[in-house]
Amino acid sequence: MGIPTWFFGANAGLEFLAMIASILIMYFAYRSYKLSSQRKFFYLGLAFFFIGISFFARTITHLLFYIFGANSLLTSFLQHINYGSPFYMLITLLGYLIILAVITKMFDRYSLLMIFLLALAGIMFSTNPLQLFHIFSLIILFFILWKQLENYFETRNANALLVFAAFLLMLVGHTLFITISYIKIEYVFYILAHVFQLLGYGALLLAMLRVWSK
Amino acid sequence: MKRRRNKLEIVFDILTAIQAKGGTIKPTHLLYKSNLSHNRMREYLDELLEKNFIEEIEKKEKKKVKQMIILKEQGYEFLQQLGKLKEFTEAFGL
């Protein structure tokens, strides 16, 4: 894939910002859990903890790749947790799946485990696991988005609209990552995908800050 | 049909009702505003008293002694936190 060299390092920066946003959302969810003792907040925090870890893995690998180059021992070791590695894909999917479970109140452990195992099997045995990961993410985010749209129409609340917009941006990000394989100007889509992802987490963080910083 | 309120929502409604009356309310008014049975409201009030969120006082008015419920500083703070929690819940539709 022809990613422009100037974007190496910049991608780590964008991923770092998304990681910070995920960690802050996790903190707000945990604060809600401490206040209410309701487990749904704990699980929401856990979901963003997983997403935060996945962004941490991406940030650190891309940063070290930028500093030491692709051939260093450290970078080759970090490829096991980088974007595209099974670790990265599964931990991100786990985060999305928990968000879906919390907002749809789908607490049937067997169904959740089954969905996760199907994703695991797909990713482990696919010839193009990364593409499959983005497709799985797209499907999960589609259902999250659907629920968020319903929620917005129910509440007509600006923060609910922001949360909806956030998941929409994340969905667009994954769509752009999928289209990379089918177009010639893939580097533009790769950069845009990163930007949309960051905007998504930024919108989510903005919604949280609007709630908690009053 | 409206869904049943959970415990936190009931506490939020009780504290909001007191706040809406300027921080002091008569128990009968609170009973009406919080939409609870007498016994259930008593249980909630006891818990709020224990947590130091409210205070029960006796006020003399025209030779009559009236019971009043006062929202305390901790109660105001907790109400503010609950308001944020409510907004958080609404934002995600949890």
Dist. CA B34–CA B52, nearest whole Å: 19
Pair A81, A57: CB distance under 8 Å: yes
Q: Helix-strand-coil percent breakdown of chain A, rounded to 5? A: 85, 0, 15
Residues 128-147 of A with CB under 8 A from B: 147
The residues facing A127 across adjacent strands are: none
pLDDT tens profile A145-199: 999 999 999 999 999 999 999 999 999 999 998 988 787 777 888 889 889 988 9
Residues of A in contact with B84 (CB under 8 A): 211-212, 214
Tokens in use for B49?
A: 């008293």
Closest-CA residue of chain B to A147: B93
- To the nearest whole Å, the CA of B73 is away from the closest chain A CA by 17
The identity of residue A7, as a single letter, is F
CB–CB contact B94 A208 (8 Å): no
Question: Do B81 and A35 count as a contact with CB atoms less than 8 A apart?
Answer: yes
Is A102–B94 a contact, with Cβ atoms under 8 angstroms apart? yes
Q: Is A83 helix (H, G, I), strand (E, B) or coil?
A: coil
In this prediction the ipTM stands at 0.80
Structure confidence by residue, pLDDT tens digits, B6-55? 888 899 999 999 999 999 999 999 999 888 898 999 999 999 999 999 99
**pTM for the whole structure:** 0.84
C-alpha span between B58 and A44 (Å, rounded) = 45
Span A23-71, pLDDT tens digits: 989 998 999 999 888 899 999 999 999 999 998 888 888 787 777 776 7
Neighbouring-strand partners of residue B69: B25, B56
Please report where in the chains the tokens 């289209």 appear, as a residue: A179
Token representation of residue A214? 């009053």
A132 within 8 A of A91, measured Cβ to Cβ: no
Among A127-131, B3-7, B85-89, which stretch is predicted with the lowest mean pLDDT? Answer: B3-7
User: Taking 90 as the threshold, does the pLDDT of residue B65 lie above it?
Assistant: no
pLDDT of residue A93: 93
Answer left, alpha or beta for residue A188, where phi above 0 means left and psi between -120 and 50 means alpha.
alpha
